[in-house]
Amino acid sequence: MIIRRFLDNDGELAQHLAQQLNTTLDWPQGAGLTAGHVAKIASATTCDVAYNQAANGHLIDLFAALPLPGTPDGNAFWGALEEAGGTAALYIDPGNMGGPAFDRLARGNEAGIANRVLSFLAELDDHQRDAVAKVIGDALAHDTLVADGRYLGQLWLRDAETTAWHVLLAKRRLHETQDDRTRFFEAWGNS
């Protein structure tokens, strides 16, 4: 996903400022800080922070849908997950990650959990992934009438994998994307 970070007079943000706030990008004239500057700050913040926070929040929501550690259902679930996933499951085991891991995620330490999720999924062979999907899906199936457990588990795994990737990609954006985009637009413009 490429998010526009540049601001032009015909863009959506400029049109919104003109139509909804009755201001232009260069307002106020001759001032040090214009509406355009504020819009660029808002645009950059929205692209980098909101997307990153949304991905982090979704990753937390995925784990929150699973049985809670320390409860009878949770203890059975996490034990079954470790049995199905083998040593790969240790990457996301509550005893190994600890409660503070998700607190840090909510405060912006997004790469740690995302890396653990991707490492967990990368180490699963096809048989283990199928077994893990069944364990997760069976835990989720009681809340829905939509599908069977195995399918729900496959959806959870795909969503967790994609969300973890989005978290890592969003973190990368903070440091590398602007130069990458400049090179991208130059290369494609010259092709």
Q: Which pLDDT belongs to residue 14?
A: 64
The answer as to whether 81 is a domain residue is: yes
Identify which of 86, 90, 80, 137 has the alpha carbon closest to the alpha carbon of residue 116.
Answer: 90
How many structural domains does the chain have?
Answer: 1
Q: Which pLDDT belongs to residue 2?
A: 39
Q: Which pLDDT belongs to residue 25?
A: 63
Q: Which pLDDT belongs to residue 125?
A: 96
The answer as to whether 160 is a domain residue is: yes
CB of 126 closer than 8 Å to CB of 87? no
Q: Which pLDDT belongs to residue 177?
A: 65
The answer as to whether 162 is a domain residue is: yes
List per-residue pLDDT tens for the chain, 191 residues long.
Answer: 334 445 556 665 566 666 656 666 666 676 666 777 677 666 655 555 555 667 777 888 898 899 998 899 999 999 999 999 999 999 998 888 766 666 666 665 557 788 889 999 999 999 999 999 999 999 988 766 666 778 999 999 999 999 998 888 776 655 566 677 788 888 888 88
The answer as to whether 1 is a domain residue is: no
CB of 171 closer than 8 Å to CB of 52? yes
What domain range includes position 84? Answer: 50-175
The answer as to whether 11 is a domain residue is: no
The Cα–Cα gap between 2 and 176 comes to 13
Contacting residues for 47 by C-beta, under 8 A, at least 6 apart: 3, 5, 173
The answer as to whether 188 is a domain residue is: no
The answer as to whether 23 is a domain residue is: no
Q: Which pLDDT belongs to residue 161?
A: 95
CB of 41 closer than 8 Å to CB of 52? no
Contacting residues for 32 by C-beta, under 8 A, at least 6 apart: none
The Cα–Cα gap between 39 and 7 comes to 8
Judged on CB neighbours under 10 Å (0-12, 13-18, 19+), 34 is: middle
Q: Which pLDDT belongs to residue 10?
A: 61
Crossing angle of the two packed helices 126-141 and 149-190, in degrees rounded to 10: 120
Q: Which pLDDT belongs to residue 162?
A: 93
The answer as to whether 41 is a domain residue is: no
